[in-house]
Amino acid sequence: MRQALAMLLPLTLVLVACQREERDTRPQSALGSGEQPTPVTALEPGGQRPSASDNKAASFEANAFHLSEGKRLFGWFNCSGCHANGGGGMGPALMDEKWLYGSSIESIHATIRDGRPNGMPSFRQKIPDDQIWELAAFVRALSGNAPSSAAPQRNDDMMVHPSENRLPDAATLGKSP
Amino acid sequence: MRRLAFMALAPFCVLLLQGCAGWQSALDPKGPAADELAWLIWFFTALCAVVWVLVMIALAAPLVMRSRPGDEPLLLDAGAERRKMRVVVTAVGLTAIILIGLTLLSFFANRTLAAIGSEAVLTIKVTGHQWWWELRYEDATPSRILTTANEIHIPAGEPVRLLLTSTDVIHSFWIPSLAGKLDLIPGHMNVLDIKADKPGVYRGQCAEFCGAQHANMGTFIIAEPRPKFDAWLNDQLQPAGAPASGEAKAGADLFLKRPCVMCHRIGGTPAGGTVAPDLTHIASRKTLAAGTLTMSRGNLAAWIADPQGIKPGSHMPVADLNGDELNAIVAYLEGLK
């Protein structure tokens, strides 16, 4: 009996490992349309600060599927045209610690949806709301704000040097065969 | 009881045999490459069946014909031993000859396959995407390069060269009625030469598991007589026609304002996305979403309204359109013949 129980425990653990996060590929209507205005500043007449949180933020922020979808869309929609893979070019860098409009996912979502002065265009209606959230989550992950278990990896072609198994053999390097 | 079991099995056998014919079957070859492969598989199967029967007989014989033990069981008859040795050596020799023979047959079949494309009249670059096929008809004149998706028109009776590659994961291109399967590998170009002997429609399928919608990654080869193919190619090279009705015109405007424009291209309009299927002549194709749905107004609307219900996990997102917008866009796309 005790043996059977002892065997059951690892089996349960193995089965638990099968549990992966859900992939919501359809918009979840329960989370709202994402059309609520996002405050651009914390200053408010009368001193009452509007809440900056959105129902959708939590379900996108640390979700590996949404983060990887965001990475794919970042390439597809040519964000690199201005932000250069997050390093910054004509547009500001996205992988540093500086956030002109706040580091929360809601602010990044508002930036993509409504645009910002000096160049950032508005993608309202051009990108479905869920896809904007995916992009915002990925942009946040670029500067290490997402758990490493969920954040997508950097592409192979962007590594500073080839992976170790592709490097020339150190022993024979520089010597003629 | 046994009769009942047989009667229960019979329909399955009929179904199995039916699977051998039709527009997607390696056992129903419609081109020289598939002919060669079908002949090879039948020959291999027949020869191996004969060898299998002989081996079974050789195994069963000693069980049936039990020899009586002699007076001295330990005494070996030198003559009988030598005979047995000869049988074993002959069998080993025959095995070697058969194996080498089959290898040579495969080798010569491969040479025949390789020879098909030596005089290819047309080169098509096939790029695998999750989960559709991008096609680029190469031409020396840049203005005659055609980009389309999922439906491969080729001239019948003429060899065509396909250059296979992929942008995301490994896919495999397989038109069982015309040729063997070959992988599409990211960062690598594979070459597959095909030829369809007669005009017809042959179905193909991705044959390497490539993700959630691998099963819905179909393609069609449409082999047509030369004049019909040339006419098709010239039609496809034209930019998209102007929207005919007021509703279609509204749809054309909406297409450019809503998410469609972010990924899709329609020739002759500002829509220039290259990451999703080219829609310039979408209504001229027979299916939608890589063979998932047949082309019709209803299916087009269904696909745009709920791609994630029809093909969950596909990269086509649910665009936030209301009923009127959806109808207008469908009216526009439906007119893109």
**Every domain of chain B and the residues it spans:** 120-236, 246-334
Element at B122 (helix H, strand E) = strand B122-129
Q: What is the pLDDT of residue B192?
A: 93
Backbone angles phi, psi at B291, to 5 degrees: 80, 10
If you classify domain B120-236 with CATH, what class do you get?
mainly beta
Residues of A with CB under 8 A from a CB of B: 23, 25-27, 33, 72, 76-77, 125-131
Residues in A touching B315 (Cβ below 8 Å): 72
What type of residue sits at position B33?
Answer: A
CB of B305 within 8 Å of any CB in chain A?
Answer: no
Radius of gyration for the alpha carbons in chain A, expressed in angstroms and rounded: 22
pLDDT at residue B19 in the model: 54
CATH number at residue A76: 1.10.760.10
CA distance B7 to chain A (A): 42
Contact B287, B218 (CB under 8 A): yes
Q: CA–CA separation, B263 vs B282, rounded Å? A: 15
| Joined tokens for residue B67 | 């020899």
Token digits of residue A62? 């640390």
Provide the residue-wise pLDDT of chain B in tens; the chain has 337 residues: 555 555 566 555 555 555 556 778 888 888 999 999 999 999 999 999 999 999 999 899 888 887 766 667 677 778 888 988 999 999 999 999 999 999 999 999 999 888 888 888 999 999 999 999 999 999 999 999 999 999 999 999 999 999 999 999 999 999 999 999 999 999 899 999 999 999 999 999 999 999 999 999 999 999 999 999 999 999 999 999 899 899 999 999 999 999 999 999 999 999 999 999 999 999 999 999 999 999 999 999 999 999 999 999 999 999 889 999 999 999 999 999 8
Three-class SS of residue B30?
coil
Residue with tokens 């500067």: A143
- Please give, rounded to a whole number of angstroms, the shortest distance from the CA of B129 to a CA of chain A: 13
pLDDT of the residue at A156? 75
Q: Which of A25, A26, A127 sits opposite B262 (nearest CB)?
A: A127
Output the CATH code of domain B246-334. 2.60.40.420
Is B211 touching A (CB cutoff 8 A)? Answer: no
Nearest to B321 by CA among B251, B262, B270, B263: B251
For residue A72, the enclosing domain spans: 61-148
Instruction: Report d(CA B189, CA B179) in Å as an integer.
Output: 17
The size of the A-B interface in CB pairs under 8 A is 40
* B120-236 and B246-334, same CATH topology: yes
Asked if B275's CB is within 8 angstroms of A128's CB, the reply is no
**Considering CB atoms only, which of A23, A33, A128 is closest to B317?**
A128
Q: Which chain B residue is nearest to residue A134, measuring alpha carbons?
A: B317
Q: Is B313 on the interface with A (CB under 8 A)?
A: yes
Chain A residues with beta carbon closer than 8 angstroms to that of B306: 26
What is the interface pTM, i.e. ipTM, of the complex? 0.80
Q: Is residue A107 part of a domain?
A: yes
Q: By the 8 A CB rule, do B240 and B333 touch?
A: no
| Within a domain: A48 | no
Name the one residue in this structure whose structure tokens are 């080729």.
B154
- Give the residue from chain B lying closest to A22, CA to CA: B313
Cβ <8 Å between A77 and B306 = no
Chain B environment of A26 (Cβ under 8 Å)? 306, 308-309, 318
The verdict on a CB contact (< 8 Å) between A125 and B258 is: yes
Question: How far is it, in rounded angstroms, from Cα A117 to Cα B327?
Answer: 35
- Which residues in chain A come in under a pLDDT of 50? 49
Determine which of B256, B262, B329 to mutate to test the interface with A (most A C-beta atoms within 10 Å): B262
Which chain B residue has the Cα nearest residue A26? Answer: B308
Task: Determine how many CB atoms are found less than 10 A away from the CB of residue B312.
Answer: 14
Q: Rounded CA gap, B291 and B288, in Å?
A: 6
Asked if residues B134 and B172 have their Cβ atoms less than 8 Å apart, the reply is no
Residue of A nearest to B272 (CA): A77
The answer to whether B181 faces chain A, any CB pair under 8 Å, is no
> For residue B314, what is the nearest residue in chain A, using CA coordinates?
A25
Nearest residue, CB atoms, A126 vs list B259, B308, B318? B259
Q: Find residue B134's DSSP bridge partners.
A: B127, B149
